[in-house]
Amino acid sequence: MMALRLFLTFAKIGLFTFGGGYAMIPLIQKEIIQAHAWLTMKEFVDIIAIAEMTPGPVAVNSATFVGYKLAGVPGAAAATGGVIFPSFVIVVAFATLFLKFKDAPAVKAVLMGIRPAVTALIAAAAISLVKASFVDIAGPIIAALVLIGMFRLDLNPILAIVLAGIVGVFLY
């Protein structure tokens, strides 16, 4: 029964969220923490952190981790399948239509309108994660150093995660 609930919950997330995994984070948070109370905010932030540093899309990884935590392997499969299924169906349908109508002014206008909304969804996810992640003064310092390293020194994101993890071992 839990596997079916996970599938349906993550299918709803996959169906009603546009803009990729980061744009899905606010809806995942709302469903998992507020609507179902399956996880605490701390657990959710930990899962997002793990999903971010493992290969693959953050929404799929998050669904897999949440499903596994709640119902083991069947839960992981159900949540992952749920989040992927709507996207698969929509992409196949839209790809067919897009190839036919991609140069239509209405299609171009719709895409121009969606872009800022997706940016806002990603910003909302980032703000939510910042609020939950900065539990002491070390968090913002680590984040600032990673940002400086990535934007000023062209630090590889994988190396940034590894270095931040090492710093975390010594600080915490």
**pLDDT tens column, 9-68:** 999 998 887 767 777 888 889 999 999 999 999 999 898 888 888 888 888 899 999 999
CA-based R_g, the chain, Å? 18
pLDDT at 48: 87
| Range 108-118 average pLDDT | 90
- Calculate the alpha carbon distances from 161 to 10, 42, 131, 165 in Å: 27, 19, 19, 6
Give pLDDT, residue 130: 86
Domain residue limits, the chain: 2-132, 134-172
Q: Encoding tokens for residue 166?
A: 């090492």
Cα of 68 vs its chain's centroid, Å? 16
pLDDT in tens, 64-96: 999 999 999 999 999 999 999 998 998 899 899
| Maximum CA extent, the chain | 56
| Percent of the chain residues topping a pLDDT of 90 | 51
